[in-house]
C-alpha cells in the first residue's frame, strides 16, 4: 500500500467519509473536490490537495471518482484541459464508484482502455451511514485483474463486496437494486395506505406481514418510517429519481420491459416536483394519503 498513490475526486456526502476511511487505512491519498471544506478535512487526515482532476491524475496509480451523475464523471475524466484521462499514466486504474448509466460507464471504460488505463465500475449502496462506518455494499464490474488490484481499497470502504461481472456489471446491479428498492417502497406504501383507509391499524398489518412472504428490509425500515411519518433521509427522493431515470434509460437501451417500475418512477417524479426531493424516498407514502393516485402527474 505504502508505495501506491490513490487519487480521490468527489468529496460529497458519500465521498468524504469514504476517502477518510482510505486515509485511516494508511493509503497515500491525493484529493480534489469542488468545495474546499471537505478537502481541508482530508488534508487534516493526511491527504494531499490537488487543484484539478488532471493534477490528481498525474500523480496517482489508482484514481477513485465518487460523483453525483453521469455528466459529472464525463466532465472529470474527459473534459479539456483539466480532465483526468489525458493525464493518467499508462498502466494506471480508474475506479468509478458513482452511480451512473451502465451504458455510459462501458463507454468510459472503452475510452480509458484505449489509453492503456484500466477501469472498474463499483457503485455502492448503504448510504452515508454505510460510508462512515465502512460497511458499504459494493457492486463491481471489470476484469479480474483490475478488480483484484482495487480490492484493498474496497475492503477499506465496504463490507459486502461482490464482483458481479465484466465492465458495467456493477452499474447494472445498482440499477437493478434501485428498481427493486423503489418498487418495494411503493408496494409497502400502497399496502399500509390501503390498511389505514380500510379502517385497520397499519402498524398491526406491518407486524402481521413482516414474518411472511411480504417481509423485506423495506417493510421493516421504510414501513416503520411511514408509520412514524418520519421522512428524514436516509436516501433522498431526488437521488432515487436520478437513479430511476438510469433504470428506465438502461431498460429501454437493452429492450427490457419495466411495466411495474414505470408508475413507481412517475410517483418519484411527482414527489420531487411537489417539493419532496430532500425527503427520504419512503415519502412516496405521502402521495397516497390524500386518496389521489401517485401516478396522476
Q: Which of residues 203-232 bind a second copy (CB under 8 A)?
A: 204-205, 207-209, 211-219, 221
We find the least distance from the C-beta atom of residue 173 to a second copy, in angstroms, to be 5
The stretch among 23-31, 73-81, 92-100, 178-186 that binds a second copy (CB under 8 A) is 178-186
Nearer to a second copy, 44 or 160 (CB): 160
Q: Does 192 bind a second copy (CB under 8 A)?
A: yes
Q: How far apart are the first and last CA of the chain?
A: 52
The region of 8-16, 46-54, 150-158, 257-265 touching a second copy under the rule CB under 8 A is 257-265
Residue 260 DSSP one-character state: T
Tell me which stretch binds a second copy (CB under 8 A): 19-27, 44-52, 59-67, 250-258.
250-258
DSSP string, 151-174: HHHHHHHEEEEEEEESTTHHHHHH
Query: For the purposes of burial, counting CB atoms within 10 Å of the CB of 138, is it exposed (0-12), middle (13-18) or buried (19 or more)?
Result: buried
What mask of x and - would describe binding to a second copy in positions 114 to 133, judged by CB under 8 A? -----------xx-------
- Closer Cβ to a second copy, 7 or 167, answer by number: 167
Q: For residue 163, which phi and psi values (nearest 5 degrees)?
A: -80, 100
Count residues binding a second copy (CB under 8 A): 77
Interface pattern 136-155 for a second copy (x via CB under 8 A) = -x-x-x--------------
CB 209 within 8 A of CB 219: yes
Confirm if 200 and 214 have CB atoms less than 8 A apart. no
Of 16, 159, 174, 217, catalytic: 174
Q: What gap in Å lies between CA 154 and CA 272, rounded to an integer? A: 32
Residue for cell digits 492503456? 116
User: Distance (Å, rounded) from C-alpha 3 to C-alpha 24?
Assistant: 16
- Cβ closest to a second copy, residue 37 vs residue 260: 260
174 is catalytic: yes
- Please give the positions annotated as active site: 174
Amino acid at each position: 500500500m505504502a508505495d501506491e498513490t490513490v487519487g480521490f475526486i468527489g468529496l460529497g456526502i458519500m465521498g468524504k467519509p469514504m476517502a477518510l476511511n482510505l486515509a485511516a487505512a494508511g493509503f497515500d491519498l491525493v484529493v480534489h473536490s469542488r468545495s474546499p471544506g471537505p478537502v481541508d478535512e482530508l488534508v487534516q487526515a493526511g491527504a494531499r490537495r490537488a487543484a484539478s482532476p488532471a493534477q490528481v491524475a498525474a500523480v496517482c496509480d489508482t484514481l477513485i471518482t465518487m460523483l453525483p451523475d453521469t455528466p459529472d464523471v464525463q466532465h472529470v475524466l474527459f473534459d479539456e484541459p483539466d480532465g483526468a484521462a489525458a493525464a493518467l499514466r499508462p498502466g494506471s486504474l480508474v475506479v468509478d464508484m458513482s452511480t451512473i448509466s451502465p451504458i455510459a460507464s462501458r463507454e468510459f471504460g472503452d475510452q480509458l482502455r484505449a489509453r492503456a488505463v484500466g477501469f472498474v465500475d463499483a457503485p455502492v449502496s448503504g448510504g452515508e451511514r454505510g460510508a462512515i462506518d465502512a460497511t458499504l455494499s459494493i457492486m463491481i464490474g471489470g476484469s479480474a485483474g483490475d478488480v483484484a488490484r482495487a480490492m484493498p481499497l474496497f475492503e477499506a470502504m465496504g463490507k459486502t463486496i461482490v464482483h458481479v461481472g465484466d465492465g458495467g456489471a456493477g452499474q447494472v446491479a445498482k440499477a437493478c437494486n434501485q428498481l427493486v428498492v423503489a418498487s418495494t417502497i411503493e408496494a409497502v406504501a400502497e399496502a399500509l395506505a390501503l390498511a389505514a383507509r380500510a379502517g385497520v391499524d397499519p402498524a398491526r398489518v406491518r407486524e402481521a406481514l413482516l414474518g411472511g412472504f411480504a417481509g423485506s428490509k423495506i417493510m421493516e425500515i421504510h414501513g416503520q418510517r411511514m408509520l412514524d411519518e418520519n421522512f428524514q433521509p436516509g436516501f433522498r427522493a431526488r437521488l432515487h429519481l436520478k437513479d430511476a431515470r438510469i433504470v428506465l434509460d438502461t431498460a429501454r437501451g437493452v429492450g427490457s420491459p419495466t411495466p411495474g417500475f414505470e408508475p413507481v418512477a412517475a410517483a418519484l417524479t411527482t414527489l420531487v416536483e411537489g417539493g419532496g426531493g430532500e425527503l427520504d424516498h419512503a415519502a412516496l407514502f405521502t402521495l397516497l394519503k390524500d386518496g389521489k393516485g401517485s401516478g396522476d402527474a
